[in-house]
Structure 1
Amino acid sequence: MLLSLFSGVVLGVFILSDFSFFASVKTLFSLFTSLLTTAWILKTLGFAILVGSIMALIERSGGINGFIDFMQHRAKLVSSSRSSLVLSYVVGVIIFIESSITSLIAGAVGKPFCHKYRIPQAKLAFVCDSTSAPISSLIVLNGWGALLLGLISTQITQGVIEADAITLLIDSVIYNFYAMSALAVTFVAIWFNIDIGPMKNTKYIPITTETILPNPQSMYYMLLPIILMIFLVFLFLYLTGDGNILKGSGSSSIFYTVLTTLLFTLFYYVPKKNMTLNTWTASTLSGAKKLFPIAMILLFAFAIGDVTSELKTGQYLASLAQKSLSIYLLASVIFLLSSLISFSTGTSWGTFSIMIPIAMPMAVAMDADVALCIGAVISGGIFGDHCSPISDTTIISSMASDCDVVEHVRTQLPYALISGFIALISFFIFSLT
């Protein structure tokens, strides 16, 4: 994934530099220097890395195992295979901070119940994957919102359209039809136990290792940091927006949120003797190291977005579209194109970086609904990501559920195609109205 994104950046720079080697090297250096000195990009990259630290600390604290123990033995809210999957679904919807965290926690919560009720691991992976990206893209008070806000703001800064970036982002979320349909289809499939395609033949695979620790820690070691993150996002949006949440800085808010939460875990876990200072430091570094590649993907995604803008790809496609594409098909075509790119690259965020600089100029040139076209990009990016075997959320959901990646892709694909078809029809209908 890193290689494909970097190759795209290099090829684009070569084209911009008239295939001059020395000019291309100079342009590449200037491009990444510019990106790494841009405040909101640095904060977004910092957020991506620090999220890994927080997740590692929560897991090391034993809070996840404490929550599982509480739900299973004390509250007794889970008593069947359906309630087990519903619990993972609810966890996936509630935890919208970051898609990887959503998949990991939903998988960790649901896995012991799936073993108890012999639910196929592929079903749990399907639930984890189908709630993570969709809910993160609908409730954009997270890294997804920061990325999208930055991409939209860039187009506004470049004079593509005169609009308020936050208002445009909120309007586009309303048109995120794939995320909405994926959440609905997943819940219906769980509640009515609907198995279609390869899911009919998937089997539960017994494991020999124990999922829950013998002496689980308090579930508040997991709950308090998560609750704090949710609260702090709103607080920092309020502070950075001078009292107006809708005008707050998304990138600053999520960065300050994870940084504050990280410090909270230090003064919460260590004094309570949940872990030593050395353990806290080691877990922090280990978690950051695991998500460092994700930060690199983000950096290359930002780079390829800038290169695409410099190549004027959006304006070129817009000129072609004006001659051969009906305005009523524009959103649907953008959705399909975004899906193809996301499936090929395995990254919805990279797709956003590529397609938003294309979709917005096309929509403006054809006098179409810009928010609808941005919504088509978001939906297409998630749809292709769900179908791709090289997607990070696909891999993480499989790992969190003890499911083979190929098995997860095969069993999830029919449900994703149903949600994708619903989204495609929705974009066509709303284009008409």
Structure 2
Amino acid sequence: MNFDWANIEASFLSLLPSLLAIALALYSRNVILSLLGGIVTGVFILSNFSFYASLYAVFELFFSMLSEAWVLKTLGFAILVGSIMELIEKSGGIEGFVDYMQNRVALVSSPRSALVLSYIIGVVIFVESSITSLVAGAVGKPFCKKYKIPNAKLAFVCDSTSAPICSLLIFNGWGALLLGLVTTQVTLNAININPLSLLMDAIFYNFYAMIALVVTFAAIWFNIDIGAMKNATISAAVSSHDDTKHADMFYMILPILLMIVLVFLFMYITGGGDIIKGSGSSSIFYTMLTTLLFMLFYYVGTKNMTLKRWGKISVDGALKLFPIALILLFAFAIGEVITNLKTGEHLASLANQNLSPYLLAGVIFLLGAVISFSTGTSWGTFSIMIPVAVPMAVAMDANVALCIGAVISGGVFGDHCSPISDTTVISSMASDCELIEHVKTQIPYALISAFVALVLFILFSFL
């Protein structure tokens, strides 16, 4: 076997920033400084190891990121979420919801039923991964406090039902991106099959997402704690809503229902009448902003709180999540650096050397998993790997749908559990779980799902 050593060296250098950021985060637990270390390292490589050029490039990078509308909207979403969650808690809506579910209808009576409720919500809301995590976390948090469930376990449930379910039920932005990529490859490679049919066949082979959902449900139902989850932090007692007069679950239910409806509405509007073409960043930002305004009129109008108190709580909640917004900004920045280093392209070219058709889908899955975990983006992985995987499958007379399914599964793996993935960050935020604790407690389950998926990709390649 002839190795392209120059390409191997380029691949290692391109992978170094993300590996450094992940290792530093797991070791130091300081996510922002770890991400900054990865960014500076990547920029240093891109600037041909020039100190002064690197310094200028770092400032230029953050300036360009803050000039992007989608970045500003996503950061605004994170901050507005803080305001909304704080208002819901202080309104008494959480206490009212706990009382209703536990005492009036008795749907939740144990840690198992509490987590199953969040799991079901995560599966039902599939339009956008951030909203999936947010709503599942908001519903589950009060029960975590009530039944002494670790925040990390709720974060695991939120994260495991966001990217996986969005990649299986593709009537959303995920489906729009995948269909566009598949359609292009069908045309370029003269594949005699309808692109939508090919994509639907590929979804059948999205083994990682399916297994992750099964593993998560099993972990809930049988109370399976493995690895760091055995020592996860237990939630504090339910906090009081201070001087609020009403403990009514509708102060929690109505804002959440409004968020669900609005995200569909804004996806429809931003997509010009086609919901799967809608802008995720715009939709979640406008959803949060409209929900916050609704809560102003609802809470103040029903005399749950005064205008002054509403304003103070909103600001307090926003300030609590400001560090999360910074983490997202740094995660986006390192993603930009990794894209410029062409990490995915280098790794993909290494895989295209003397592969057996029977191992092709398995290797594509592993490569997609490495790229997505290193970059923190499933969509970026799809965009890199589908143009690589489809021609390889055609040339080697392999199952094209199986190889596309391997790409999707590999991309979902990183989106699910990478510490620099926005979905991972938002899931930990929605569950009040420290980010690194969430990553450490979730990875063993994700690796189990990945191993089973790899076996299935190899098995189906032979079949």
**SS of residue matched to 1:366:** helix
Cα distance change, pair 255–173 in 1 and its aligned pair in 2 (3 A): farther
What residue in structure 2 maps to residue 381 of structure 1? 414
1:135 to 154, 158, 161: 161
Q: Output the CA distance in 2 between the equivalents of 1:217 and 1:281.
A: 20
Q: Output the CA distance in 2 between the equivalents of 1:309 and 1:408.
A: 23
Q: What code does the residue aligned with 1:376 have? A: S
Q: Output the CA distance in 2 between the equivalents of 1:31 and 1:152.
A: 28
How do residues 183-262 of structure 1 correspond to structure 2 at under 5 angstroms?
183-191=213-221, 193=222, 195=224, 209=237, 217-262=247-292
Cα distance change, pair 89–424 in 1 and its aligned pair in 2 (3 A): same
Q: What code does the residue aligned with 1:107 have? A: K
1:57 to 87, 93, 99: 87
Cα distance change, pair 287–153 in 1 and its aligned pair in 2 (3 A): farther
1:295 to 304, 315, 325: 325
How do residues 273-292 of structure 1 correspond to structure 2 at under 5 angstroms?
273-292=303-322
Q: What code does the residue aligned with 1:132 have? A: C
Cα distance change, pair 45–53 in 1 and its aligned pair in 2 (3 A): same
Q: What code does the residue aligned with 1:363 have? A: A
2:341 to 295, 307, 311: 311
Q: Output the CA distance in 2 between the equivalents of 1:254 and 1:42.
A: 12
Q: Output the CA distance in 2 between the equivalents of 1:334 and 1:291.
A: 37
Q: Output the CA distance in 1 between the equivalents of 2:113 and 2:341.
A: 51
How do residues 7-22 of structure 1 correspond to structure 2 at under 5 angstroms?
7-22=37-52
What residue in structure 2 maps to residue 263 of structure 1? 293
Shift of 1:98: 4.6
The number of residues matched between the two structures is 408
* Unpaired runs of at least 5, structure 2: 1-30, 189-195, 394-399
How do residues 80-99 of structure 1 correspond to structure 2 at under 5 angstroms?
82-94=112-124, 97-99=131-133
How do residues 352-391 of structure 1 correspond to structure 2 at under 5 angstroms?
352=378, 355=381, 359-360=385-386, 362-363=388-389, 366-367=392-393, 371-381=404-414, 384-385=417-418
Shift of 1:383: 5.5
- Structure 1 residue 422 corresponds to structure 2 residue 452: yes
Aligned Cα root-mean-square deviation (Å): 4.5
Shift of 1:148: 6.8
- Is 1:65–1:216's contact at 8 Å kept on the other side of the alignment? no
Q: Output the CA distance in 1 between the equivalents of 2:383 and 2:36.
A: 18
The Cα offsets for residues 17-53 of structure 1, whole Å up to 9 and x where unpaired, read as 1112222223223322222112222222222221222
- Is 2:351–2:363's contact at 8 Å kept on the other side of the alignment? no
The Cα offsets for residues 141-199 of structure 1, whole Å up to 9 and x where unpaired, read as 9xxx999799989999xx99989xx99999987665334323323334444x3647579
- Structure 1 residue 107 corresponds to structure 2 residue 126: no
Shift of 1:201: 8.3
* Unpaired runs of at least 5, structure 1: 116-120
Q: Output the CA distance in 2 between the equivalents of 1:173 and 1:397.
A: 28
Shift of 1:229: 0.7
Shift of 1:223: 0.7
- Is 2:300–2:310's contact at 8 Å kept on the other side of the alignment? yes
Q: What code does the residue aligned with 1:99 have? A: S
Q: Output the CA distance in 2 between the equivalents of 1:293 and 1:153.
A: 35
Cα distance change, pair 341–239 in 1 and its aligned pair in 2 (3 A): closer
Cα distance change, pair 328–285 in 1 and its aligned pair in 2 (3 A): farther
The Cα offsets for residues 339-374 of structure 1, whole Å up to 9 and x where unpaired, read as 66887x8xxx73548755653554366356674354
Q: Output the CA distance in 2 between the equivalents of 1:76 and 1:230.
A: 25
- Is 1:68–1:212's contact at 8 Å kept on the other side of the alignment? no
How do residues 7-86 of structure 1 correspond to structure 2 at under 5 angstroms?
7-79=37-109, 82-86=112-116
Shift of 1:394: 8.0
How do residues 162-177 of structure 1 correspond to structure 2 at under 5 angstroms?
176-177=206-207
- Is 1:298–1:350's contact at 8 Å kept on the other side of the alignment? no
Identity over aligned residues, as a percent? Answer: 49
Cα distance change, pair 276–330 in 1 and its aligned pair in 2 (3 A): farther
Q: Output the CA distance in 2 between the equivalents of 1:301 and 1:170.
A: 31
How do residues 408-419 of structure 1 correspond to structure 2 at under 5 angstroms?
415-419=445-449
**SS of residue matched to 2:248:** coil
- Is 1:137–1:173's contact at 8 Å kept on the other side of the alignment? no
Cα distance change, pair 64–173 in 1 and its aligned pair in 2 (3 A): farther
- Is 1:87–1:110's contact at 8 Å kept on the other side of the alignment? no
**SS of residue matched to 1:64:** helix
Q: Output the CA distance in 1 between the equivalents of 2:412 and 2:98.
A: 33
- Is 2:94–2:249's contact at 8 Å kept on the other side of the alignment? yes
Shift of 1:134: 2.2
Cα distance change, pair 81–313 in 1 and its aligned pair in 2 (3 A): closer
- Is 1:64–1:222's contact at 8 Å kept on the other side of the alignment? yes
Q: Output the CA distance in 1 between the equivalents of 2:172 and 2:68.
A: 14
1:178 to 195, 205, 208: 208
Q: Output the CA distance in 1 between the equivalents of 2:32 and 2:204.
A: 31
